[in-house]
Homo-oligomer: A and B are copies of this chain.
Amino acid sequence: MTELLQEEQVTETELTLKAQEAKKAAFQLAKATTEEKNEALRIISAQLLEEQDFILSENAKDIAAGKQAGMNDSLVDRLALDAPRLKDMADALIQLTRLNDPIGETLEKWEQPNGLAMTKIRVPIGVVGMIYEARPNVTVDASSLCLKTGNAIVLRGSSTAINSNKAIVQVIRRALEKSKLPVEAVQLLEDTRRETASQMFKLNEYLDVLIPRGGAKLIQTVVQNATVPVLETGAGNCHIYIDKTADVKMAVDIAINAKTQRPSVCNSCETILVQRDWAAAHLPELVTALQAQDVTIHGDEAVQQGSSSVVPATDEDWATEYLGFEVAIRVVDTVDQAVQHINQYGTKHSEAIISTDAASVEQFFNEIDAAAVYHNASTRFTDGFEFGFGAEIGISTQKLHARGPMGLPALTSTKYIVRGNGQIK
Protein backbone atom coordinates (compact mmCIF):
# COMPACT_ATOMS: atom_id res chain seq x y z
CA MET A 1 0.00 0.00 0.00
CA THR A 2 2.75 2.43 0.96
CA GLU A 3 4.62 1.46 -2.16
CA LEU A 4 1.53 2.06 -4.30
CA LEU A 5 1.04 5.46 -2.75
CA GLN A 6 4.64 6.37 -3.39
CA GLU A 7 4.31 5.19 -6.96
CA GLU A 8 1.24 7.34 -7.41
CA GLN A 9 3.01 10.36 -6.04
CA VAL A 10 5.89 9.79 -8.43
CA THR A 11 3.46 9.50 -11.30
CA GLU A 12 1.64 12.63 -10.36
CA THR A 13 4.91 14.44 -10.04
CA GLU A 14 6.06 13.44 -13.52
CA LEU A 15 2.73 14.45 -15.02
CA THR A 16 2.34 17.63 -13.01
CA LEU A 17 5.92 18.74 -13.54
CA LYS A 18 5.84 18.13 -17.26
CA ALA A 19 2.43 19.76 -17.63
CA GLN A 20 3.68 22.80 -15.69
CA GLU A 21 6.75 23.03 -17.91
CA ALA A 22 4.52 22.76 -20.97
CA LYS A 23 2.29 25.54 -19.70
CA LYS A 24 5.27 27.79 -19.11
CA ALA A 25 6.59 26.98 -22.59
CA ALA A 26 3.17 27.73 -24.08
CA PHE A 27 3.43 31.37 -23.00
CA GLN A 28 6.78 31.66 -24.79
CA LEU A 29 5.56 29.76 -27.84
CA ALA A 30 2.58 32.07 -28.21
CA LYS A 31 5.06 34.86 -28.91
CA ALA A 32 7.15 32.95 -31.48
CA THR A 33 7.20 34.34 -35.00
CA THR A 34 6.17 32.25 -37.99
CA GLU A 35 9.78 32.10 -39.15
CA GLU A 36 10.99 30.92 -35.74
CA LYS A 37 8.40 28.14 -35.79
CA ASN A 38 9.19 27.11 -39.37
CA GLU A 39 12.92 27.16 -38.66
CA ALA A 40 12.36 24.82 -35.69
CA LEU A 41 10.36 22.44 -37.91
CA ARG A 42 13.19 22.40 -40.46
CA ILE A 43 15.75 21.65 -37.73
CA ILE A 44 13.57 18.83 -36.37
CA SER A 45 13.23 17.42 -39.89
CA ALA A 46 17.00 17.35 -40.34
CA GLN A 47 17.61 15.96 -36.85
CA LEU A 48 15.20 13.05 -37.44
CA LEU A 49 17.22 12.01 -40.49
CA GLU A 50 20.55 12.63 -38.80
CA GLU A 51 19.62 10.48 -35.81
CA GLN A 52 17.86 7.85 -37.89
CA ASP A 53 20.04 4.97 -36.60
CA PHE A 54 19.30 5.84 -32.98
CA ILE A 55 15.54 6.06 -33.60
CA LEU A 56 15.44 2.81 -35.57
CA SER A 57 17.47 0.89 -32.98
CA GLU A 58 15.14 2.07 -30.19
CA ASN A 59 12.15 1.21 -32.37
CA ALA A 60 13.62 -2.27 -32.87
CA LYS A 61 13.43 -2.82 -29.09
CA ASP A 62 9.69 -2.10 -29.14
CA ILE A 63 9.19 -4.39 -32.13
CA ALA A 64 11.10 -7.21 -30.46
CA ALA A 65 9.16 -6.78 -27.21
CA GLY A 66 5.90 -6.64 -29.12
CA LYS A 67 6.61 -9.81 -31.07
CA GLN A 68 7.67 -11.58 -27.90
CA ALA A 69 4.40 -10.50 -26.27
CA GLY A 70 2.49 -11.97 -29.22
CA MET A 71 1.48 -8.68 -30.86
CA ASN A 72 -0.33 -9.32 -34.15
CA ASP A 73 1.18 -8.45 -37.52
CA SER A 74 -0.94 -5.43 -38.25
CA LEU A 75 -0.07 -3.86 -34.88
CA VAL A 76 3.61 -4.64 -35.44
CA ASP A 77 3.32 -2.92 -38.80
CA ARG A 78 1.81 0.19 -37.22
CA LEU A 79 4.59 0.25 -34.68
CA ALA A 80 7.46 -0.34 -37.09
CA LEU A 81 9.65 2.46 -38.40
CA ASP A 82 12.14 2.20 -41.23
CA ALA A 83 14.20 4.62 -43.33
CA PRO A 84 11.43 5.39 -45.86
CA ARG A 85 8.89 6.02 -43.09
CA LEU A 86 11.29 8.35 -41.28
CA LYS A 87 11.92 10.12 -44.58
CA ASP A 88 8.15 10.60 -44.97
CA MET A 89 7.96 12.05 -41.48
CA ALA A 90 10.86 14.42 -42.19
CA ASP A 91 9.27 15.47 -45.49
CA ALA A 92 5.94 16.13 -43.79
CA LEU A 93 7.69 18.58 -41.47
CA ILE A 94 9.01 20.52 -44.46
CA GLN A 95 5.51 20.49 -46.02
CA LEU A 96 4.19 21.94 -42.77
CA THR A 97 6.58 24.89 -42.98
CA ARG A 98 4.94 25.83 -46.28
CA LEU A 99 1.43 26.13 -44.80
CA ASN A 100 0.07 29.48 -43.66
CA ASP A 101 0.54 30.21 -40.00
CA PRO A 102 -2.97 30.80 -38.65
CA ILE A 103 -1.68 32.50 -35.47
CA GLY A 104 -2.17 36.26 -35.39
CA GLU A 105 -4.63 36.18 -38.27
CA THR A 106 -7.32 38.88 -38.01
CA LEU A 107 -10.71 37.17 -38.16
CA GLU A 108 -12.96 40.18 -37.63
CA LYS A 109 -12.47 43.89 -37.24
CA TRP A 110 -15.04 46.57 -36.52
CA GLU A 111 -15.69 49.74 -34.57
CA GLN A 112 -18.43 50.22 -32.00
CA PRO A 113 -20.50 53.44 -31.93
CA ASN A 114 -18.70 54.48 -28.71
CA GLY A 115 -15.37 54.45 -30.57
CA LEU A 116 -14.00 51.13 -29.26
CA ALA A 117 -11.94 49.50 -32.03
CA MET A 118 -12.52 45.73 -31.92
CA THR A 119 -10.31 43.06 -33.48
CA LYS A 120 -10.73 39.31 -33.19
CA ILE A 121 -7.48 37.44 -33.78
CA ARG A 122 -6.35 33.81 -33.76
CA VAL A 123 -4.17 32.71 -30.87
CA PRO A 124 -2.81 29.30 -29.83
CA ILE A 125 -4.98 27.12 -27.58
CA GLY A 126 -2.16 26.69 -25.05
CA VAL A 127 -1.30 23.16 -23.95
CA VAL A 128 -2.57 20.15 -25.90
CA GLY A 129 -2.72 16.73 -24.24
CA MET A 130 -2.41 13.94 -26.80
CA ILE A 131 -3.39 10.40 -25.81
CA TYR A 132 -2.68 7.81 -28.49
CA GLU A 133 -1.89 4.24 -29.32
CA ALA A 134 1.17 2.42 -30.64
CA ARG A 135 1.94 4.62 -33.65
CA PRO A 136 5.24 6.44 -33.19
CA ASN A 137 4.54 8.59 -36.25
CA VAL A 138 1.84 10.35 -34.20
CA THR A 139 4.60 11.54 -31.87
CA VAL A 140 6.19 13.56 -34.67
CA ASP A 141 2.95 14.48 -36.36
CA ALA A 142 1.18 15.80 -33.24
CA SER A 143 4.26 17.63 -31.94
CA SER A 144 4.89 19.39 -35.22
CA LEU A 145 1.27 20.44 -35.73
CA CYS A 146 1.27 21.87 -32.21
CA LEU A 147 4.55 23.73 -32.69
CA LYS A 148 3.33 25.20 -35.98
CA THR A 149 0.27 26.57 -34.18
CA GLY A 150 2.21 27.81 -31.14
CA ASN A 151 0.88 25.17 -28.76
CA ALA A 152 2.86 23.15 -26.24
CA ILE A 153 2.11 19.43 -26.10
CA VAL A 154 2.06 16.69 -23.48
CA LEU A 155 2.28 13.30 -25.21
CA ARG A 156 1.03 10.12 -23.63
CA GLY A 157 1.63 7.22 -26.00
CA SER A 158 1.34 3.48 -25.58
CA SER A 159 3.73 1.45 -23.43
CA THR A 160 4.39 -0.77 -26.45
CA ALA A 161 5.95 2.20 -28.26
CA ILE A 162 7.73 3.74 -25.29
CA ASN A 163 11.30 3.26 -26.55
CA SER A 164 10.43 4.68 -29.97
CA ASN A 165 8.58 7.60 -28.42
CA LYS A 166 11.37 8.40 -25.98
CA ALA A 167 13.92 8.37 -28.79
CA ILE A 168 11.79 10.57 -31.06
CA VAL A 169 11.07 13.09 -28.32
CA GLN A 170 14.76 13.20 -27.37
CA VAL A 171 15.58 13.94 -30.99
CA ILE A 172 12.87 16.61 -31.23
CA ARG A 173 14.14 18.25 -28.06
CA ARG A 174 17.76 18.19 -29.24
CA ALA A 175 16.51 19.95 -32.36
CA LEU A 176 14.52 22.48 -30.32
CA GLU A 177 17.68 23.32 -28.39
CA LYS A 178 19.13 24.62 -31.65
CA SER A 179 15.98 26.63 -32.36
CA LYS A 180 14.43 29.73 -30.82
CA LEU A 181 11.49 27.72 -29.45
CA PRO A 182 11.48 26.44 -25.87
CA VAL A 183 12.64 22.81 -25.47
CA GLU A 184 9.91 22.35 -22.84
CA ALA A 185 7.24 22.76 -25.53
CA VAL A 186 7.29 19.00 -26.20
CA GLN A 187 6.77 16.70 -23.21
CA LEU A 188 6.51 12.92 -23.19
CA LEU A 189 5.06 11.03 -20.24
CA GLU A 190 7.31 8.05 -19.71
CA ASP A 191 4.95 6.51 -17.20
CA THR A 192 2.42 4.82 -19.47
CA ARG A 193 0.21 3.24 -16.83
CA ARG A 194 -3.53 3.64 -17.19
CA GLU A 195 -3.68 5.79 -14.04
CA THR A 196 -1.44 8.41 -15.61
CA ALA A 197 -3.85 8.82 -18.48
CA SER A 198 -6.73 9.04 -16.01
CA GLN A 199 -4.94 11.85 -14.20
CA MET A 200 -4.43 13.65 -17.51
CA PHE A 201 -8.19 13.47 -18.14
CA LYS A 202 -8.78 15.83 -15.22
CA LEU A 203 -5.74 18.10 -15.40
CA ASN A 204 -7.79 21.20 -16.23
CA GLU A 205 -5.27 23.42 -14.47
CA TYR A 206 -2.61 22.78 -17.09
CA LEU A 207 -4.22 21.24 -20.16
CA ASP A 208 -6.49 23.25 -22.45
CA VAL A 209 -7.62 20.37 -24.64
CA LEU A 210 -7.24 16.61 -24.91
CA ILE A 211 -6.99 14.88 -28.27
CA PRO A 212 -7.36 11.10 -28.20
CA ARG A 213 -6.12 9.35 -31.32
CA GLY A 214 -6.78 5.66 -31.74
CA GLY A 215 -9.62 3.15 -31.65
CA ALA A 216 -13.21 3.79 -30.63
CA LYS A 217 -12.60 2.37 -27.17
CA LEU A 218 -9.75 4.76 -26.39
CA ILE A 219 -11.76 7.73 -27.62
CA GLN A 220 -14.85 6.78 -25.62
CA THR A 221 -12.77 6.29 -22.47
CA VAL A 222 -11.44 9.82 -22.85
CA VAL A 223 -14.85 11.35 -23.68
CA GLN A 224 -16.53 9.56 -20.78
CA ASN A 225 -13.92 10.46 -18.18
CA ALA A 226 -12.29 13.73 -19.12
CA THR A 227 -13.13 17.06 -17.53
CA VAL A 228 -10.59 18.75 -19.82
CA PRO A 229 -12.39 19.62 -23.11
CA VAL A 230 -11.91 16.88 -25.72
CA LEU A 231 -11.49 17.14 -29.48
CA GLU A 232 -13.35 13.98 -30.40
CA THR A 233 -12.32 12.19 -33.57
CA GLY A 234 -14.82 9.41 -33.73
CA ALA A 235 -16.15 6.44 -35.55
CA GLY A 236 -17.51 6.54 -39.07
CA ASN A 237 -20.58 4.48 -39.91
CA CYS A 238 -20.84 6.03 -43.38
CA HIS A 239 -23.57 5.43 -45.97
CA ILE A 240 -23.98 5.59 -49.72
CA TYR A 241 -27.58 6.19 -50.77
CA ILE A 242 -28.26 5.19 -54.38
CA ASP A 243 -31.28 7.19 -55.51
CA LYS A 244 -33.89 6.11 -58.07
CA THR A 245 -32.24 8.27 -60.73
CA ALA A 246 -28.61 7.29 -60.04
CA ASP A 247 -26.31 6.64 -62.99
CA VAL A 248 -25.62 2.92 -62.76
CA LYS A 249 -21.91 2.84 -63.50
CA MET A 250 -21.23 5.86 -61.28
CA ALA A 251 -23.20 4.35 -58.39
CA VAL A 252 -21.40 1.02 -58.61
CA ASP A 253 -17.96 2.64 -58.98
CA ILE A 254 -18.51 4.92 -55.99
CA ALA A 255 -19.91 2.12 -53.83
CA ILE A 256 -16.94 -0.12 -54.65
CA ASN A 257 -14.48 2.70 -54.00
CA ALA A 258 -16.08 3.82 -50.75
CA LYS A 259 -16.20 0.23 -49.48
CA THR A 260 -13.00 -1.34 -50.73
CA GLN A 261 -10.34 1.27 -51.44
CA ARG A 262 -9.26 1.24 -47.77
CA PRO A 263 -11.89 -0.45 -45.62
CA SER A 264 -10.08 0.02 -42.29
CA VAL A 265 -10.57 3.80 -42.15
CA CYS A 266 -13.39 5.86 -40.71
CA ASN A 267 -14.55 7.39 -44.01
CA SER A 268 -15.11 4.04 -45.73
CA CYS A 269 -18.70 3.01 -46.47
CA GLU A 270 -20.45 0.54 -44.15
CA THR A 271 -24.05 0.52 -45.40
CA ILE A 272 -25.44 1.02 -48.90
CA LEU A 273 -29.07 2.14 -49.14
CA VAL A 274 -30.66 1.43 -52.52
CA GLN A 275 -33.89 2.96 -53.79
CA ARG A 276 -36.40 0.19 -54.66
CA ASP A 277 -36.86 0.99 -58.39
CA TRP A 278 -33.12 1.26 -58.93
CA ALA A 279 -32.66 -1.99 -57.00
CA ALA A 280 -35.22 -3.79 -59.15
CA ALA A 281 -33.20 -2.98 -62.24
CA HIS A 282 -29.57 -2.84 -61.03
CA LEU A 283 -29.09 -4.43 -57.60
CA PRO A 284 -27.68 -7.70 -59.03
CA GLU A 285 -25.01 -5.72 -60.82
CA LEU A 286 -24.02 -3.93 -57.58
CA VAL A 287 -24.02 -7.18 -55.59
CA THR A 288 -21.92 -8.97 -58.21
CA ALA A 289 -19.42 -6.12 -58.35
CA LEU A 290 -19.03 -6.08 -54.56
CA GLN A 291 -18.72 -9.86 -54.35
CA ALA A 292 -16.07 -9.77 -57.09
CA GLN A 293 -14.05 -7.69 -54.59
CA ASP A 294 -14.61 -10.37 -51.91
CA VAL A 295 -17.04 -8.16 -50.00
CA THR A 296 -19.45 -10.10 -47.79
CA ILE A 297 -22.95 -8.67 -48.08
CA HIS A 298 -25.41 -8.43 -45.21
CA GLY A 299 -28.75 -7.69 -46.85
CA ASP A 300 -32.36 -7.08 -45.86
CA GLU A 301 -35.08 -9.39 -47.26
CA ALA A 302 -35.27 -7.63 -50.61
CA VAL A 303 -31.53 -8.01 -51.08
CA GLN A 304 -31.56 -11.64 -49.97
CA GLN A 305 -34.19 -12.46 -52.60
CA GLY A 306 -31.81 -11.49 -55.35
CA SER A 307 -28.90 -13.63 -54.21
CA SER A 308 -28.46 -16.76 -52.10
CA SER A 309 -24.99 -15.69 -51.02
CA VAL A 310 -26.29 -12.68 -49.08
CA VAL A 311 -26.13 -12.95 -45.28
CA PRO A 312 -29.38 -11.82 -43.60
CA ALA A 313 -28.85 -8.39 -42.01
CA THR A 314 -29.98 -7.73 -38.45
CA ASP A 315 -30.63 -4.39 -36.74
CA GLU A 316 -27.12 -4.64 -35.38
CA ASP A 317 -25.68 -4.61 -38.88
CA TRP A 318 -27.13 -1.14 -39.54
CA ALA A 319 -25.13 0.15 -36.57
CA THR A 320 -21.92 -1.75 -37.30
CA GLU A 321 -18.69 -0.19 -38.48
CA TYR A 322 -17.21 -3.28 -40.18
CA LEU A 323 -13.88 -1.67 -41.10
CA GLY A 324 -13.30 -4.62 -43.41
CA PHE A 325 -14.59 -6.35 -46.53
CA GLU A 326 -18.20 -6.48 -45.35
CA VAL A 327 -21.12 -4.20 -46.14
CA ALA A 328 -24.79 -3.96 -45.22
CA ILE A 329 -27.35 -3.28 -47.97
CA ARG A 330 -30.94 -2.16 -47.44
CA VAL A 331 -33.63 -1.34 -49.97
CA VAL A 332 -35.61 1.85 -49.24
CA ASP A 333 -38.54 3.46 -51.02
CA THR A 334 -37.69 7.15 -50.83
CA VAL A 335 -35.09 9.77 -49.95
CA ASP A 336 -37.14 10.28 -46.78
CA GLN A 337 -36.52 6.71 -45.71
CA ALA A 338 -32.84 6.94 -46.56
CA VAL A 339 -32.48 10.14 -44.52
CA GLN A 340 -34.33 8.59 -41.60
CA HIS A 341 -32.14 5.48 -41.67
CA ILE A 342 -28.92 7.49 -41.84
CA ASN A 343 -29.89 9.93 -39.10
CA GLN A 344 -30.89 6.97 -36.91
CA TYR A 345 -27.89 4.69 -37.42
CA GLY A 346 -25.12 6.97 -38.72
CA THR A 347 -22.35 8.54 -36.69
CA LYS A 348 -22.67 11.98 -38.37
CA HIS A 349 -19.39 11.50 -40.24
CA SER A 350 -19.69 11.27 -44.06
CA GLU A 351 -22.80 10.45 -46.10
CA ALA A 352 -23.28 10.34 -49.87
CA ILE A 353 -26.20 10.43 -52.29
CA ILE A 354 -25.80 9.20 -55.86
CA SER A 355 -28.54 10.80 -57.93
CA THR A 356 -29.34 12.89 -60.98
CA ASP A 357 -32.38 14.49 -59.34
CA ALA A 358 -31.65 17.96 -57.94
CA ALA A 359 -34.58 17.91 -55.49
CA SER A 360 -33.44 14.62 -53.93
CA VAL A 361 -29.90 15.95 -53.56
CA GLU A 362 -31.07 19.16 -51.90
CA GLN A 363 -33.28 17.21 -49.52
CA PHE A 364 -30.38 14.92 -48.64
CA PHE A 365 -28.02 17.89 -48.09
CA ASN A 366 -30.56 19.72 -45.92
CA GLU A 367 -31.77 16.83 -43.81
CA ILE A 368 -28.73 14.65 -43.20
CA ASP A 369 -26.97 15.56 -39.96
CA ALA A 370 -23.29 14.85 -40.68
CA ALA A 371 -19.89 16.54 -40.84
CA ALA A 372 -19.70 16.02 -44.61
CA VAL A 373 -22.44 15.26 -47.14
CA TYR A 374 -21.59 14.26 -50.71
CA HIS A 375 -23.37 14.27 -54.05
CA ASN A 376 -21.97 11.86 -56.65
CA ALA A 377 -18.64 11.32 -54.91
CA SER A 378 -17.06 8.77 -52.60
CA THR A 379 -17.14 9.29 -48.82
CA ARG A 380 -13.42 8.49 -48.88
CA PHE A 381 -12.65 12.17 -49.55
CA THR A 382 -13.36 13.21 -45.95
CA ASP A 383 -9.75 13.91 -45.06
CA GLY A 384 -7.74 17.05 -44.31
CA PHE A 385 -5.43 16.53 -47.27
CA GLU A 386 -8.25 15.74 -49.72
CA PHE A 387 -10.03 18.88 -48.49
CA GLY A 388 -6.87 20.87 -49.30
CA PHE A 389 -5.94 21.77 -45.71
CA GLY A 390 -2.35 20.55 -46.16
CA ALA A 391 -2.41 18.92 -42.72
CA GLU A 392 -4.87 16.99 -40.61
CA ILE A 393 -5.31 16.90 -36.84
CA GLY A 394 -8.05 14.31 -37.24
CA ILE A 395 -11.68 14.20 -38.34
CA SER A 396 -14.01 15.66 -35.74
CA THR A 397 -17.37 13.98 -35.25
CA GLN A 398 -18.43 16.45 -32.60
CA LYS A 399 -20.39 19.58 -33.31
CA LEU A 400 -18.55 22.14 -31.20
CA HIS A 401 -15.29 23.92 -32.07
CA ALA A 402 -14.54 21.97 -35.26
CA ARG A 403 -16.53 19.48 -37.33
CA GLY A 404 -15.18 17.21 -40.07
CA PRO A 405 -11.54 17.23 -41.21
CA MET A 406 -9.50 19.49 -38.94
CA GLY A 407 -6.63 21.55 -40.34
CA LEU A 408 -4.35 23.89 -38.42
CA PRO A 409 -7.12 26.35 -37.40
CA ALA A 410 -8.65 23.59 -35.25
CA LEU A 411 -5.59 23.95 -32.99
CA THR A 412 -6.28 27.63 -32.41
CA SER A 413 -8.47 29.77 -30.19
CA THR A 414 -9.33 33.45 -30.47
CA LYS A 415 -8.82 36.65 -28.51
CA TYR A 416 -10.61 39.99 -28.71
CA ILE A 417 -8.32 43.03 -28.81
CA VAL A 418 -10.15 46.23 -27.84
CA ARG A 419 -8.57 49.64 -28.30
CA GLY A 420 -10.14 52.62 -26.58
CA ASN A 421 -9.40 56.18 -25.52
CA GLY A 422 -10.89 56.23 -22.07
CA GLN A 423 -14.28 54.59 -22.61
CA ILE A 424 -16.22 53.71 -19.47
CA LYS A 425 -19.65 52.16 -19.17
Q: Shortest beta-carbon distance, A397 to chain B, in Å?
A: 11
Q: Shortest beta-carbon distance, A360 to chain B, in Å?
A: 13
Contact stretch, chosen from A44-52, A89-97, A173-181, A250-258: A250-258
* Other-chain residue from B118, B365, B401 in contact with A400 (beta carbon distance below 8 A): B401
* Other-chain residue from B118, B381, B416 in contact with A425 (beta carbon distance below 8 A): B381
Q: How long is the Cα–Cα vector from A416 to B379 in the complex, in angstroms?
A: 12
Residues of B within 8 A of A118 (CB): 387-388
Inter-chain contact B425/A261, CB cutoff 8 Å: yes
* Other-chain residue from B381, B403, B421, B425 in contact with A418 (beta carbon distance below 8 A): B381
A373 within 8 A of B: yes
How many copies of this chain sit in the oligomeric assembly?
2
* Other-chain residue from B27, B223, B382 in contact with A343 (beta carbon distance below 8 A): B27
Specify the main secondary structure of chain A where it touches its partner: mixed
Number of interface residues of A (CB under 8 A): 68
Q: Mark A245-288, 1 if CB is under 8 A from B, else 0.
A: 00100100110111001000000000000000000000000000
Inter-chain contact B422/A253, CB cutoff 8 Å: yes
* Other-chain residue from B31, B123, B380, B401 in contact with A401 (beta carbon distance below 8 A): B401
A116 within 8 A of B: yes
A345 within 8 A of B: no
Inter-chain contact B369/A27, CB cutoff 8 Å: yes
Residue of B nearest to A261 (CB): B425
Q: Shortest beta-carbon distance, A261 to chain B, in Å?
A: 6
Q: Which residues of A contact B (CB under 8 A)?
A: 27, 30-31, 110, 112, 116, 118, 123, 125-126, 204, 208-209, 223-225, 227, 229-231, 247, 250, 253-254, 256-258, 261, 343, 365-367, 369-378, 380-382, 386-388, 398-401, 403-405, 413-425
Other than the given A125-B400, A377-B424, A401-B401, 19 more pairs (CB < 8 A) read A27-B367, A27-B369, A110-B388, A112-B387, A254-B422, A257-B425, A258-B424, A261-B424, A370-B415, A372-B415, A374-B418, A376-B419, A376-B423, A377-B418, A377-B420, A377-B422, A378-B424, A381-B425, A399-B413
